[in-house]
Amino acid sequence: MSQVNKVVLAYSGGLDTSVIVKWLQETYHCEVVTFTADLGQGEEVEPARLKAEQLGVKEIYVEDLREEFVRDFVFPMFRANAIYEGEYLLGTSIARPLIAKRLVEIANETGADAISHGATGKGNDQVRFELGAYALKPGVKVIAPWREWDLNSRQKLLDYCDHHGITVEKKKGKSPYSMDANLLHISYEGEVLEDPWAAADDDMWRWSVSPQDAPDTPTMIDLTYAKGDLVAIDGKPMKAHEILAYLNKVGGDNGVGRIDIVENRYVGMKSRGCYETPGGTIMMRAHRAIESICLDREVAHLKDSIMPRYAEVVYNGYWWSPERRAMQALIDDTQESVNGDVRLRLYKGNVDVVGRRSDDSLFDEKIATFEEDGGAYDQKDAEGFIKLNALRLRIAALKGRKL
């Protein structure tokens, strides 16, 4: 085992990472620095500081990264309209590159020669954390306890805590689901969800009401965009993280944003999970609406053609890769003209676009009208257009080719 003097641990303050602190101290005989990020998970993060102190940690980082998370990671991804496998809005995936970035920065600040995380050897997060770390600090050592130790059950972790005097809340019993939360989403995995046929319990969901129980009166909201990013709601300018928090609340109140999917993990297995992404669901619908009037047809189709690749890159953990940066440069260039307002109706789980307007709109009422257009469009031009585009089809048919 190589010598490690100091390691920076992504620390939640929960059972797994509390055990990891002590395990690192015992196994590597090293100093541990803890890093706890507030990404809007809806839980108080400051208690993690006290827990780290109780474990003998001297250097403790507890940081509010909500604005950076939404502004520099969520918003750029939503400019791309990124959806993985047609349904997943990448809530967990997009949080990992920021955590990896801060782990590396803190390692540089504190002189640490290693970083560590609590991701298991079965999931995607180990890949995301480590790809990000290696991209930003190629020589860094990564310690992944779940790939080294034999504490492979909750009971073994609790026994370890008892043996080492580690205080853990709610030792008895078992949480029904494995959950991950940030400002973009909350995910649920494990237990009954491991059977793809079994329905999720109604009381599992935390952010949203059931669509059936949502208000009988629709909620109307106006969203304002500048260069592809949301900047105001109902005319009120807001910071990026405030916008997403507001949309989570209003969306959740109207039963918006629930999905139940089976996805293909990068490591090779299929995984069933349930996700609540109320704000993200609203943002996706609104962004496509404002793009529909502001983007040139071929530019819009080009964006759509690279979106699955972009989503896959983010899902697999390559946020810091040259291909993601190259795609982002193209996407961001298209957003210069994506400015204006979108009006939405939220009703019992649905997000309906009822209006869109922009000074940069390419929608020309004089040309699109079914009424008299004053010569703006000559319908006779369509005849030659159709014949030219049919030429290859006609030739093939004349040659007897089967269609």
Catalytic residue numbers read 16, 96, 125, 178
The DSSP code for 32 is E
**Eight-state DSSP code of residue 94:** G
- The token pair at 58 is 């001297």
CA atoms of 252 and 265, how far apart (whole Å): 27
What crossing angle do the helices spanning 96-110 and 125-136 adopt, rounded to 10°? 50
CA distance linking residue 403 with residue 398, whole number of Å: 12
Q: Is 154 exposed, middle or buried (0-12, 13-18, 19+ CB in 10 A)?
A: middle
In whole angstroms, give the CA distance from residue 243 to residue 35. 26
What is the amino acid identity at position 175? S
Smallest CA-to-CA distance from 324 within 80, 74, 89 is with 80
**Among 72, 45, 148, 88, residue whose Cα is nearest residue 307:** 88
Rounded alpha-carbon distances, angstroms, from residue 385 to 268, 363, 372, 389? 48, 21, 22, 6
Rg (CA), the chain: 25
Helix ranges restricted to H, 265-380: 278-294, 297-316, 322-334, 365-368
* CA nearest to 332, candidates 83, 66, 77: 77
Contacts of 101 (CB under 8 A, 6+ apart): 132, 136, 320
Residue indicated by tokens 């109706």 = 345
